[in-house]
Structure 1
Amino acid sequence: MQKPNILFLLSDDQRHRTIHALGNKEILTPNLDRLVHQGCSFTNAHIMGGTNGAVCMPSRAMLFTGRTLFHIENEGQNIPPEHTTLGEAFKNEGYSTCGIGKWHNGTQSYARSFTCGGNIFFGGMWDHWNVPVCDYHEDGEYNHMIRYTSNFYYGNQTMEMHCDRISAGVHSTELMASEAIRYLENYTEEKPFYLQVSFLAPHDPRTMPDKYKNMYRPVELTLPPDFSEEFDVDFGIGSMRDEVLAGYPRSESEIR
């Protein structure tokens, strides 16, 4: 029996009700709708979170290893060799494995998961219009770093980021999708492929090309039923990044 090719697309921090085919009739998502109609969808899933990237980083480690929250290493900041990744499992079964886009679980676990790749982003979030990406390195070494000023308006503190280059002015979604299309159009191997494409959107900062932003009038969008102006439990505003993305208490106009 011939093994199937597998294309695994990951959007970042996107809820199922932000897809037209799954019940939200106020938005247009034709490409995601086609995937819904042709495959299966999870509409009721719960991920237990910890600290330091409570949703993104730990959930990715759990997804890629099949392990639960309390059986991953260091909240998913790294996936140790004894935890077989999804990419490794397919590679061991004779697949060509390609990793494109975001990888939030350490460079070493990426290197052993994929036999090729491109436009790799090692991190959690970034400016969608200036994404620092790495090329695929056959030796598995991703040591090249760039130095940048994290917020030049408020200080001179600098940080380092794994990066071979910055694709200035290209939105992250276009950057990752174009790389995936090139892979699919040029694939000539006889062995099956596992292609994992991990987008940065719609993770904040929520910026997008104007042609998509201008499709909607915020005042006409319905807020979700669980919208609340204030938290039910006071655990200290400002302890998490998402809490300070909008004013507090929340207002409907800001959220829209």
Structure 2
Amino acid sequence: MNKTKFACLLLGLLFLQTVRAQQPNFLFIITDDQTYNAIHALGNHDVHTPTLDKMVEEGVTFTHTFNQGSWSGAVCLASRCMINTGQSVFRAARNFSYLPNWGRIGGEETQVPLWGATLRQHGYETFLTGKWHLSNEAALESFDFAHAIGEGMYETYDENGSNKFAYGREKADDTSWSPWNLDYKGQWAPFVTDIVYNENGKAKISATYTVKEHTSELYANKAINYLLTHVKNSEKPFFMYVAFNAPHDPRQSPKEFVDMYPAQEMKIPDNYLPEHPFDQGDKRIRDEMLAPFPRSKNAVQLHLREYYAIITHADHEIGRIMKALEASGKMENTYVILTSDHGLAVGQHGLMGKQNQYDHSVRMPLMIIGPGLTPGKKIDEQVYMQSMYATSCDLAGISIPQTVDFKSLKPLLTDDNAKGEEYIFGAYKNLQRMVRSQQYKLIVYPEVARMQLFDVKHDPLELNDLSDDPHYSEIKSKMIEKLKEQQAKFGDQLNLRTTFPAYF
């Protein structure tokens, strides 16, 4: 090889190393069951979230972020399947049982690459801690390292640890159970697994083991250890997937956090109802059985107390992770994404869970901090949370796999004239369908032949149903047509004509 060719080759290698060094890192943090406004800086002054408030101040906040739905009462499972496949709710549902899986694009069978696996294949080192809720095979395909892979949820037990103790919270003066009592296990004694390697370097999932440490503290500690012992001394770009069980029930946290929220001082939501006005399809699902029927104000106050306490506790642990990221020296080239898998009712509309199409349950926070982003910027365009797969690929200069349905949010991050989703689609089992614009929302309940129409721009708490108001008949008809379009777009095969022949 002559000197000129050698010099060109050397320059090319140096250029590739420079490009690689500049490739951004990603720290993805996801909570569980955190509704969109359960952050102090976003208008809820009853909850204390100093770390998340700082993220709002330093990053870009998407104010209208949505989960597309679920084929299961375990909405978090469906949400996480969509996050990690990038596929819309019906395609993800068809592939869920086979993760890592195969799907069909244009009639041809093709592999569905998972989020972590895609970044991994493009030079990223990938790390997981916390709630995964998908298969072991999917974890092994997606991550180089995983420490403390958590379960979907953790049940509580009696003082002897022998009998399951139902997390049913009834009244504000109930003293038979306390969130800080370690004897009840649950979040205080999670059983987890790791990715381990044998002597030949082959990865597998370890045996399950139990840790006597709160889930939020455990996951934060694993993330911090990875940042300070591995990331700090590595030049390889990284993708961290840090998934909290909090604030999912059982809502347990240290006493100092619970004491911040006296139950009798908890503000009852303005859209509180003793019971939902009709059975929306899963009235007696597990989440709805956590409080008595009708919902007393005392019960709602007790739930809110523990909900806010575990959010504040998680906020504290997220703050520790952020300090470790800064100490690692990698903050300036890292995109930090904070979101949740969906929201939660906690007494609103007479509901306690997330198996409904109201904003408190389908809408979640989304903040992104990173290089080149405008601090404090708020984007009101409608987006899907499951766009994080495409967005990270786009920010990293990686081609988005053709199997990914949800589009990148990079244009919204960088262009003030970019647009989000004109209409958001929502589905829950075959019990509910929803379409939402920036001003109106239509919810259809085929099992009970009911519809609701809300002007969410002027009635954000969804208190005034306009579906039978003749003044809104044209709006109703338009939203029905948009629902049909969304069903066709996403391959929804639910036939609404049987229940609503006049409209469908």
Normalising by the smaller structure, the TM-score range is 0.7 to 0.9
Match of residue 211, structure 2, among 167, 178, 192: 167
What TM-score results when the alignment is normalised by the length of structure 2?
0.44
Identity, % of aligned pairs?
Answer: 36
2:33 matched residue in structure 1: 13
Q: CA deviation at 1:5?
A: 1.7
Give the alignment partner of residue 138 of structure 2, picking from 109, 119, 128. Answer: 109
Aligned equivalent of 2:345: none
1:236–1:9: structure 2 CA closer, same or farther, 3 Å change rule? closer
Shift of 1:236: 5.8
Of 202, 223, 232, the residue aligned with 2:247 is 202
Which residue among 219, 225, 233 is the counterpart of 1:176?
Answer: 219
More divergent stretch after superposition (87-96 vs 70-79): 70-79
Q: In the alignment, what sits opposite 1:151?
A: none
Residue 36 of structure 1 deviates from its aligned partner by 1.9
Which is higher, the Rg of structure 1 or of structure 2?
A: 2
Answer yes or no: is 1:230 the counterpart of 2:230.
no
Alignment counterpart, residue 61 of structure 2, candidates 29, 41, 44: 41
Q: Distance in 2 between matches of 1:54 and 1:98?
A: 25
SS across alignment from 1:6: strand
Report the count of equivalent residues.
234
Check the 8 A contact 2:125/2:239 in 1, yes or no. Answer: yes
Flag the 1:182–1:72 CA change in 2: closer, same or farther, 3 A. same
- Amino acid in the other structure paired with 1:124: G
Higher fraction of helix: 2
Does residue 283 of structure 2 align to residue 245 of structure 1? no
For structure 1, which segment, 241-250 or 72-81, has the greater mean C-alpha deviation from structure 2 after superposition?
72-81
CA contact (8 A) 2:148 2:219 kept: yes
Alignment match, 1:134:
193
**70 and 182 in structure 1: CA distance in 2 versus 1, 3 angstrom threshold:** same
User: Match of 1:193?
Assistant: 238
- Opposite residue 153 of structure 2, the aligned amino acid is M
User: How big is each residue's C-alpha offset from its partner over 1:75-106, in whole Å with a ceiling of 9 and x where there is no partner?
Assistant: 84553332222111211110100011110111
Aligned CA distance change for structure 1 residues 84 and 225 (closer, same or farther; 3 Å): farther
Distance 1:130 1:77, change over 3 A: farther
CA deviations 1:184-221 (Å, max 9, x no partner) are 11122211111110011000111111111101112222
- Counterpart in 2 of 1:125? 153
**SS state at 1:229 partner:** coil
Separation (CA, whole Å) in 1 of partners of 2:48 and 2:91? 39
The offset of 1:67, in angstroms, is: 0.8
Report how far residue 55 of structure 1 moved. 1.8
Is the 8 Å Cα contact of residues 77 and 104 (structure 1) preserved in structure 2? no
Which structure has the higher relative contact order (CA within 8 Å, separation 6+)?
A: 2
Partners in 1 of 2:250 and 2:97 — Cα distance? Answer: 21
Offset, 1:252: 1.1
Contact 2:125 2:238 (8 Å CA) reproduced: yes
- Structure 1 unmatched runs, 5+: 145-162
User: Which consecutive unaligned segments of at least 5 residues does structure 2 have?
Assistant: 1-18, 102-110, 155-185, 302-504
CA contact (8 A) 2:100 2:112 kept: yes
- SS of the equivalent of 2:137 reads helix
Given the alignment, which residue of 64, 82, 96 partners 1:62?
82
